[in-house]
Structure 1
Amino acid sequence: MAQVHEFKVVMTCEGCSGAVNRVLGRKQEVTKTEIDMEAQKVTVESTLSAEELLAILKKTGRECSYIGIKQ
């Protein structure tokens, strides 16, 4: 079952958010991604675990951390 996870990701430009979209978009298990540049938050709906998603986000080279499951 897919869960919605929130991550804090330091993004300074459209290139940063584009990189986040690209790495998450490659995964079949990711069904939805929302990026809030102003709040520096990425919301991901996926069947992957928070740890797996965080590892994927770290591949962008951006500083990131797990916030929690969005209610």
Structure 2
Amino acid sequence: MPKHEFEVAMTCEGCSGAVTRVLNKLEGVTFEIDLPQKLVWIESDKDAEVLMQTLQKCGKEVKYNGTK
């Protein structure tokens, strides 16, 4: 399963909580959040565009860095 890296403009625990909430609504994804680095890694078979649109629902600026 590919691991996608995203930069998300998170500044606090509330921000990472919002990211966690939107990602928990997706089926078949596992994710890791690095708040100090403002990075989110998502393991999923879903298209990167679907993951990006899901992350944008938390209201933060999101940038896709590619697969790792």
TM-score computed with the length of structure 2 as normaliser: 0.95
Cα distance in 2 for residues equivalent to 1:43 and 1:29: 14
- Offset, 1:29: 2.4
The structure richer in strand per residue is 1
Match of 2:9 in 1: 10
Corresponding position of 1:41: 39
Structure 2 counterparts to residues 55-70 of structure 1, below 5 A:
55-70=53-68
Match of 1:21 in 2: 20
Shift of 1:47: 1.2
Q: Which runs of no fewer than 5 residues in structure 2 stay unpaired?
A: none
Hey, what's the Cα distance between the residues in 2 that align with 1:69 and 1:10?
Answer: 19
CA displacement 1:23-66 (0-9 Å, x = unmatched): 11111121x11000111100000111110000000000001110
CA RMSD of aligned residues (A): 0.7
How far apart are 1:3 and its partner, in Å?
A: 1.2
Identity %: 50
5+ residue gaps, structure 1: none
What TM-score comes out, normalization by structure 1 length? 0.91
